[in-house]
């Protein structure tokens, strides 16, 4: 384990912070990103206390993603990239949802992780076996959707999963030893979920860590929850 590097995007609170702590506990060198404007938030201290190397990155600003990759180091190997930044749900009915809300969530939850995966790809290629871990949701599943609702959250998450599959297939075709995993953390009470959920953060992050660690290159494209349940796309 010594020498392996894990980078968690969106690491200052909730699931991102929890995952980063588990990676560090398991011997990884940990790197965590935070939006520049969030450095004044109380959560910044929580991230500082982990001892992680902190890097500024905002999914909405491509230049910050490119700069974050440079700060990480062009010659540094990246073994685990976790795309964990996100936005909570709003407006249950599609009739109450605006185009701006749809586009904003798509930029944060789909385009941002796509760009992060692209800019950190040279670092991932240096690993003997790298994993891009995309923290998704059961709500992304088209097949499991039997109640509609929250279209501005579901659609970008579904696109996020689709992007993950596309990238995974292209990496496999290029014979690169990089797996792309879609992992659902379950219903965890975090700020984004308005503190609603029946799964403890500790259980979720440890479960997700286990799914990440046991994955092989053949598991690229897997859509699984924290406990190992496979979701249909």
Report pLDDT digits (tens) over 49-75: 999 999 999 999 999 999 999 999 999
Read off the pLDDT of residues 89-138 as tens digits, 9 standing for 90 and up. 877 899 999 999 999 999 999 999 999 999 999 999 999 999 999 999 99
Tens of pLDDT, residues 134-192? 999 999 999 999 999 999 999 999 999 999 999 999 999 999 999 999 999 998 876 56
- CA distances in angstroms from 209 to 111, 185, 228, listed in the order given: 24, 10, 11
Q: Edge-to-edge strands of the sheet including 80-83?
A: 53-56, 29-34, 5-9, 80-83, 130-135, 178-184, 223-225
Q: Count Cα atoms within 13 angstroms, Cβ side, for 68.
A: 32
Share of the chain above pLDDT 90, in %: 87
User: Torsion-angle region of residue 195: left (phi > 0), alpha (psi -120 to 50) or beta?
Assistant: left
Cα 33 from Cα 65, distance rounded (Å): 10
Contact call for residues 203 and 197 (beta carbons, < 8 A): no
């Amino acid at each position: 384990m010594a020498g392996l590097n894990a980078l968690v995007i969106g690491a200052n609170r909730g699931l991102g912070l929890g995952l980063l702590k588990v990676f560090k506990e398991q011997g990884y060198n940990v790197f965590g990103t935070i939006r520049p404007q969030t450095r004044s938030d109380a959560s910044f201290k929580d991230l500082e206390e982990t001892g992680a190397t902190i890097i500024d990155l905002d999914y909405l600003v491509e230049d910050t993603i490119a700069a974050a990759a440079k700060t990480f180091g062009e010659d540094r190997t990246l073994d685990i990239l976790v795309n964990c930044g996100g936005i909570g749900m709003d407006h249950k009915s599609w009739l109450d949802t605006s185009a701006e809300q749809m586009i904003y969530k798509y930029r944060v939850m789909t385009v941002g992780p796509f760009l992060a995966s692209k800019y950190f790809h040279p670092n991932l290629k240096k690993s003997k076996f790298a994993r891009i871990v995309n923290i998704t949701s059961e709500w992304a599943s088209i097949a499991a959707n039997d109640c509609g609702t929250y279209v501005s959250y579901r659609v970008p998450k579904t696109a996020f999963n689709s992007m993950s599959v596309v990238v995974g297939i292209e990496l496999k075709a290029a014979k690169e030893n990089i797996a792309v995993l879609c992992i659902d953390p379950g219903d965890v009470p975090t700020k984004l979920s308005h503190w609603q959920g029946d799964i403890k953060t500790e259980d979720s992050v440890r479960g997700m860590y286990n799914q990440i660690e046991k994955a092989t290159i053949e598991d690229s494209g897997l859509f699984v929850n924290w406990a190992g349940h496979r979701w249909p796309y």
